[in-house]
Amino acid sequence: MTTQQISRAELSEQVAAHIRDIVGKELTELIRTNIAEAVDPLRKQVTNWGEKLVAGAAAHAPQAREAGLSFARCVRATAAAKYNGSGPEGAIQILKQWGDHDLAQEWEGARQKALAAGDATAGGFLVPTTFSQDLINALRAKAVMRKLGVATIPLATGTLSLPKITAGANASYIGERTSAAKSEQSTGHVTLSFKKLAVFTPISNSLLRYSSPGADMIVRNDLVAAAQVKEDAAFIRGDGMDGSPKGAYYWAPAAQRVACNTSVSLQNTASDLGKLMQKLMESNIPMGKPCWIMAPRTVNFLATLVTSAGSFIYKDELARGTLWSYPVAFTTGVPTNLNYTGNGTNDESEIYFIDIEQALIGEALSLVVTASTEAAYPDGTTIIPAFTRDETVVLAIAEHDFVMRYDEAVAILVGVDWAPGSV
């Protein structure tokens, strides 16, 4: 056997045997015992260090939370800090006291970066992007455009200009020795720019004193519900004035608005829906992801339509979330108090058929949150001062915009007075 072929264990055993031959068995055992006594405390110390490191890592590891609850917890910490008379550092300390070390650590890191970049926000706390997106994820399950899958892009600087198609290219057959006709797409630009959506919610000061997941859920649900109602109304029917986004109704050309039949019947209902599909098809829309958007009353009408034999026509399909195989969503953002026909009843609505792939939402990367114990807020027709109710009012400001990159990708049925029992 060569030297290279001798294993470490074999070599160790050979060396140990030589040591025993030289110093004797008793001295060898004494050396071994002394080494063990010296090494054992070090081994225990290293083990303790390892356990502490593992425990520390576990304490600061991200916790699994439902969408929106991380943001809501930071909102409550913000309100509690304001109630205690402290700033963002106070909110971070409160998160640590509640045991949310992962949230505190992320917020602390984001805050240091923002301060280093000179991007501190006066009058409010700049919530880290991760937490802001956490609220957006919760909103995505509620707000109709987001739920249908409208693409979202970040607006890092507040504005973004994008190319849009205003007319398609032409094509022609050519004969021998003839030139092809000029064929070009007509293009333009559409600009996304920040529109501020202010969402507020009053929080009982009693809820600010405790680390309660139930309180986080209340705050999350209140913020999401308020944001969803306002966003739906803006993205569908906002006129683009007074700082609001321009909604789908105002992006659609006049030629894409179709009048509903004044006589309600099974045949006319199907015919009216077909008109919207035809509008998009004749406009050479890619039809990447066409979707229906309508008022709850309209969905209920379609779900209760029956044949002369008493069989439901659309009920089962609507229960699956589609109509004529295309996704359908309903929202109170589609009004039911319009008057297209001039009959004076103000009970008409609209149905939207939109290729969602041609729509776009521009989103700010972060939200700004501020809180006040002195503010007042409207409760119906009454203005309620937070101080008298022992509440802290939290204001969250989101910045976004909505555009259509192809105007003809929206078709609207107007003058819809369908309601259960009208057939």
Number of Cβ atoms within 10 Å of the Cβ of 240:
15
Angle at 259 between CA 255 and CA 264, to 5 degrees: 160
CB within 8 A of 423, min separation 6: which ones? 264, 265, 266, 269, 305
Rg (Cα) of the chain, in Å, rounded?
33
**What domains are defined for the chain?**
64-166+187-423 (3.30.2400.10)
Dihedral angle of Cα 33, 38, 44, 45, to the nearest 10 degrees? 180
C-alpha distances in Å from residue 74, one per residue of 91, 164, 197, 208, 333:
8, 39, 19, 11, 29
Contact 361, 401 (CB under 8 A): yes
What are 265-274's contacts with CB under 8 Å, separation 24+? Answer: 265/423, 266/305, 266/307, 266/313, 266/423, 269/302, 269/305, 269/418, 269/423, 272/351, 272/413, 272/416, 273/323, 273/324, 273/351, 273/413
Kindly report the pTM of this predicted structure. 0.78
Closest CA to 60 of 105, 3, 6: 105
The phi, psi pair for 368, rounded to 5°, reads -110, 130
Which pLDDT tens digits describe the chain residue by residue (423 residues)? Answer: 454 555 555 655 665 666 666 656 666 666 666 666 665 676 666 566 655 554 554 445 567 788 899 999 988 998 898 888 888 789 899 999 999 999 999 888 877 765 544 444 444 567 777 888 888 888 888 999 999 999 999 887 888 888 776 655 555 666 666 655 544 545 578 889 999 999 888 888 888 877 788 889 989 999 999 999 999 999 999 999 989 999 999 999 999 999 999 999 999 999 999 999 999 999 988 899 999 999 999 999 999 999 989 999 999 999 999 999 999 999 999 999 999 988 778 999 999 999 999 999 999 877 888 888 888 888 778 898 988 889 988 888 899 999 999 999 999 999 999 988 777
Q: CA 208, CA 391: separation in Å to the nearest integer?
A: 9
Closest CA to 98 of 202, 215, 201: 215
CB within 8 A of 236, min separation 6: which ones? 144, 145, 247, 248, 249, 293, 331, 333, 334, 352
Structure tokens at 80: 């509690």
Contact 208, 174 (CB under 8 A): no
Angle at 165 between CA 163 and CA 167, to 5 degrees: 155
